[in-house]
Amino acid sequence: MTSQAAMNRPGKDSIYATQLEKVDSFVFDHRVAEVFPDMIKRSVPGYPTVIAMTGVLAAEYVQPNSRVYDLGCSLGASSLAAQEGITAPGCEIHAIDNSREMLDQAQQRLSSESARTPVQFICENVLDSEISNASMVILNFTLQFIETTQRLALLKKIRSGLRPGGILILSEKIAFTDSTEESLQIDMHHAFKRANGYNDLEISQKRTALENVLIPETLEQHFQRLENAGFSRADLWFQCFNFVSLIARV
């Protein structure tokens, strides 16, 4: 492939590659859905590991005849990992997203007819979702897009929909109270993006688009909120720069 062809390969994220007159707020529309796997892999350090371990955790924690909820499922990567990991019989996965464009593509990617664990695709706001009989709830990089004032109510609802022994996987971009650490982590995140082929214009325009849309919080805020929501404990199991994943237990 020539370097020009590589730049234009189908599925490659080049949404912010040209100078925009005005950078609009980021939305999960059809343009994003088309390039999403490439975008998230090149933007979120450790994403493939978090997804793969979601499958490992599903094998460990999903209980027979229970539900798994994948909230903000995008194209269904976490649902697929869970589906492949689950060994317990009689389970179902509810894959939920409020972007019709993302959900349509998720549905095409996961044909669940012959799968042992079926997936239901639901287009709705996770703030309106009913959660019950769950043994695992997945919030992989979704809570950061929910209004901060709504986050506790969502976690309380998840907690009360989980069975004894159930878990929440919470993966997020985080902020740091120490300003030196904050800039160090942001610099390393940008270095990660540059190493994955994004240029400075793309990095800066994407950052502008995500302002007030993706709102990261500190680890301390997450731990406190999980406690306030009624989880008995929460543990950090993964960190790569300013991206983390926690397991919270009932």
C-alpha dist (Å) from residue 196 to 49, 129, 136, 199: 16, 36, 32, 9
| Residue 83 in the binding site for ligand GEK (CB under 6 A) | no
| Residue 57 in the binding site for ligand GEK (CB under 6 A) | no
| Residue 110 in the binding site for ligand GEK (CB under 6 A) | no
Binding residue for ligand GEK, selected from 63, 66, 78, 105, defined by CB under 6 A? 78
Q: Looking at 13-21, 110-118, 137-145, 218-226, which segment touches ligand GEK (CB under 6 A)?
A: 137-145
| Residue 105 in the binding site for ligand GEK (CB under 6 A) | no
Quick check: 35 and 13 in contact, CB under 8 A?
yes
The dihedral formed by the CA atoms of 8, 12, 18 and 24, expressed in degrees to the nearest 10: 150
| Residue 242 in the binding site for ligand GEK (CB under 6 A) | no
| Residue 112 in the binding site for ligand GEK (CB under 6 A) | no
Kindly determine how many residues on this chain lie close enough to bind ligand GEK according to the rule CB under 6 A. Answer: 21
Q: Smallest distance, Å, CB 97 to ligand GEK?
A: 4
| Residue 74 in the binding site for ligand GEK (CB under 6 A) | yes
Distance of CA 172 to the CA centre of its chain: 7
Distance of CA 208 to the CA centre of its chain: 20
| Residue 127 in the binding site for ligand GEK (CB under 6 A) | yes
Binding residue for ligand GEK, selected from 58, 62, 68, 73, defined by CB under 6 A? 73
Quick check: 32 and 12 in contact, CB under 8 A?
no
Distance of CA 62 to the CA centre of its chain: 19
Tally the C-alpha atoms within 13 A of residue 7's C-alpha that lie toward its C-beta. Answer: 7
Interface residue list for ligand GEK (CB under 6 A) = 28, 40, 51, 72-74, 77-78, 96-99, 102, 125-127, 140-142, 145-146
